[in-house]
């Protein structure tokens, strides 16, 4: 994304032109940026030769998943729906892992019959359910055990998943007991030890603590895991971060870990693959001026992009036409939803804006469209992709009559 003669372009196509053709609100993805993010991720970890399973929860658009699959990645899914989307996108089942604390018997059976690589189990009860299904379909099932390492990922508390106060995973003792109990089972093959400690992580320290917790399990159990799934969580630069993840240090530590333990590494990145490749294109409906605040009322709301309302996430907002005239007054960028939390951003100064101007909310490729709803009975934003100088619609526009 760049400005040329004060006009905003995404991969050399003027955003105003895209908006004229596709309308607002629309999620727009850049194929170039997606590809760049994947190459960067691979470069950071190339010495480890990992299996990279894209976390479908971050973005489940089938066209996006198809492009990600063609670029060599597998998928990490957390529901039958996500698994179906990954399979429909032609992602190889042998590159799919299934995580999540509440898989139903129906979901487990569906996944087992599709021959996916691993079901990462998160409780004793789940392993019992998997064993029962294995018996029913006469097929042993490859599983991972998800460890909760009780490590603080030092990120937003709502997206922290690796502390013992969180619902995810099994503690050290539970993992050790389960290994003992199931290592010779004819129903489940324990193949993997998995973790995922949170999202938008910007320090390598919590990851190193997690590696130590995994090492402890390996040493104590003396069990040979074929895979270690380190999850995702790599933070991206939304524009307010003081520091970013030191991939080099993280990768070096994993290298040492692999040398010692001879395991295949799996990653489950979501945000770092698609976050910066997505933009929410929107338009100013009205500007409402009070003494202290200019409310910039957009035609997309928290139903399109929940993250700011959900956990005060920061997203840059930029105009499609740059102006040199600055207005020193609080600008609140809000949506039309009847909730006070329907606010994207508050800034102290912004350039002069007019009703009808086109606006872009940045870095919304991950946990954007997937968290959207029809709240206030509003049509959801459609999705398009810019690829090879062409713009394609990749999710149909909703029809209000169908939703009603
Ligand atoms: C089990 C699991 N794996 C991977 C991810 C992806 O995380 P991120 O998008 O931060 O890389 C998540 C997200 O919360 C998750 O719960």
What digits encode the pLDDT tens for the residues 40-77? 999 999 999 999 999 999 999 999 999 999 999 999 99
Q: What is the pLDDT of residue 160?
A: 75
User: In this structure, is the dihedral angle defined by the CA atoms of residues 82, 87, 89 and 93, taken in order, positive or negative?
Assistant: positive
Residues 6+ apart with CB under 8 A from 257: 211, 214, 215, 228, 263
Distances (CA, A) of 98 to 55, 76, 85, 237: 10, 6, 13, 28
pLDDT at 162 over 90: no
In tens, the pLDDT along 305-342 reads 999 999 999 999 999 999 999 999 999 999 999 999 99
Question: Is 157's pLDDT higher than 90?
Answer: no
Cα 196 from Cα 162, distance rounded (Å)? 6
Cβ-contact 331, 290 below 8 angstroms: no
According to the model, what pLDDT value does residue 161 have?
A: 79
How far apart (Å, rounded) are the C-alpha atoms in residues 29 and 391? 9
Mean pLDDT over 181-202 rounds to: 96
Contact 356, 298 (CB under 8 A): no
- Does the pLDDT value for residue 273 go beyond 90? yes
Confidence of residue 82 (pLDDT cuts 50, 70, 90): very high
For the Cβ of 268 lying below 6 angstroms from any atom of ligand 1, the answer is yes
Closest-lying ligand 1 atom to the alpha carbon of residue 233: 10
Residue 233 in contact with ligand 1 by CB distance below 6 A: yes
Tell me the CB-side half-sphere exposure of residue 118, using CA atoms within 13 A: 29
Q: How many angstroms from the chain centroid is the CA of residue 396?
A: 22
pLDDT tens figures, 346-404: 999 999 999 999 999 999 999 999 999 999 999 999 999 999 999 999 999 899 999 99
* CATH of the structural domain 2-29+275-403, one choice from 1.10.357.10, 3.40.50.300, 2.60.40.10, 2.40.37.10: 2.40.37.10
pLDDT band (50, 70, 90) for residue 242: confident
Distance, in Å, from the CA atom of 293 to the CA atom of 329, rounded to the nearest integer, reads 6
Share of the chain above pLDDT 90, in %: 94
Q: Is pLDDT above 90 for 125?
A: yes
Contact indicator for 58, 83 with CB cutoff of 8 Å = no
Nearest to 311 by CA among 324, 302, 301: 302
- Can you give the pLDDT at residue 155? 77
Q: Say what the pLDDT of residue 97 is.
A: 98
Segment 31-46, tens digit of pLDDT: 999 999 999 999 999 9
Whole-number Å distance between alpha carbons of 41 and 39: 5
User: Which ranges of 71-138 does DSSP label H, i.e. alpha helix?
Assistant: 80-88, 105-113, 124-137
In this predicted structure, the answer to whether residue 287 has a pLDDT above a threshold of 80 is yes
Residue ranges of the alpha helices (H) in 45-171? 62-70, 80-88, 105-113, 124-137
- Is the pLDDT reported for residue 18 higher than 80? yes
The H or E element containing residue 264 is: strand 264-267
* Average pLDDT, rounded, for the chain: 96
Q: Is 196 in the pocket of ligand 1 (CB under 6 A)?
A: yes
Residue 102 structure tokens: 């509440």
338 a catalytic residue: yes
Architecture of the domain whose range is 100-267: Alpha-Beta Barrel (3.20)
- The answer on pLDDT for 226 being more than 90 is yes
Q: Whose CA is nearest to atom 5 of ligand 1?
A: 232
Ligand 1 atom closest to residue 232's alpha carbon, by position in its atom list: 11
Phi-psi region of 150 (alpha: psi -120 to 50; beta: other; left: phi over 0): left
pLDDT in tens, 90-107: 999 999 999 999 999 999
Is residue 156 scored above 80 in pLDDT?
A: no
For ligand 1, whether the C-beta of 368 sits within 6 Å is no
Q: Is the pLDDT of residue 164 over 90?
A: no
Question: Which residue's entry shows tokens 């106060």?
Answer: 165
Q: What pLDDT is stored for residue 57 in this prediction?
A: 98
Could you give the CA distance from residue 265 to residue 230 in angstroms, rounded to a whole number? 7
Domain borders along the chain are 2-29+275-403, 100-267
pLDDT at 163: 82
Per-residue confidence (pLDDT) for residue 151, from 0 to 100:
87
Q: pLDDT tier at 2 (50, 70, 90 boundaries)?
A: very high
């Amino acid at each position: 994304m760049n400005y040329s003669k004060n006009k905003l372009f995404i991969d050399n196509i003027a955003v105003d032109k895209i908006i004229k053709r596709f309308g607002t609100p629309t999620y727009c993805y850049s194929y170039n940026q997606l590809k760049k993010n994947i190459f960067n991720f691979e470069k950071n970890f190339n010495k480890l030769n990992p299996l990279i399973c894209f976390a479908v929860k971050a973005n489940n658009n089938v066209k996006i998943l198809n492009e990600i699959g063609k670029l060599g990645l597998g998928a990490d899914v957390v529901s039958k729906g996500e698994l179906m989307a990954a399979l429909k996108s032609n992602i190889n089942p042998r590159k799919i892992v299934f995580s999540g604390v509440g898989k139903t018997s129906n979901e487990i059976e569906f996944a087992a019959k599709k021959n996916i690589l691993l079901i990462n189990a998160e409780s004793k009860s789940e392993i019992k359910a998997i064993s029962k299904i294995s018996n029913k379909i006469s097929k042993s099932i490859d599983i991972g055990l998800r460890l909760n390492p009780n490590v603080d990922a030092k990120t937003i508390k709502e997206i922290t998943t690796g502390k013992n106060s969180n619902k995810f995973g099994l503690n050290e003792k539970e993992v050790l007991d389960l290994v003992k109990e199931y290592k010779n089972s004819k129903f489940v093959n324990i193949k993997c030890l998995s973790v995922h400690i949170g999202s938008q992580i910007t320090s390598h320290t919590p990851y190193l603590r997690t590696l130590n917790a995994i090492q402890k399990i390996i040493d104590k159990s003396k069990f040979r895991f074929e895979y270690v799934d380190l999850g995702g969580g790599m933070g991206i630069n939304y524009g307010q971060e003081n520091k970013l993840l030191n991939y080099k240090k993280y990768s070096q530590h994993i290298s040492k870990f692999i040398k010692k333990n001879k395991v295949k590494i799996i990653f489950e990145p979501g945000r770092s693959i698609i976050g910066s490749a997505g933009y929410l294109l929107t338009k100013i409906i009205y500007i409402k001026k009070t003494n202290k605040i200019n409310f910039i009322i957009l035609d997309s709301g928290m139903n399109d992009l929940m993250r700011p309302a959900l956990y005060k996430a920061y997203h840059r907002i930029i105009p499609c036409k740059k102006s040199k005239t600055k207005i020193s007054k609080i600008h609140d960028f809000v949506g039309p939803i009847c909730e006070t939390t329907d606010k994207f951003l508050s800034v102290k100064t912004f350039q002069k804006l007019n009703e009808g101007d086109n606006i872009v909310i940045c870095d919304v490729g991950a946990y954007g469209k997937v968290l959207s709803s029809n709240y206030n009975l509003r049509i959801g934003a459609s999705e398009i992709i810019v690829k090879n100088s062409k713009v394609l619609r990749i999710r149909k526009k909703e029809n209000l009559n169908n939703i009603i």
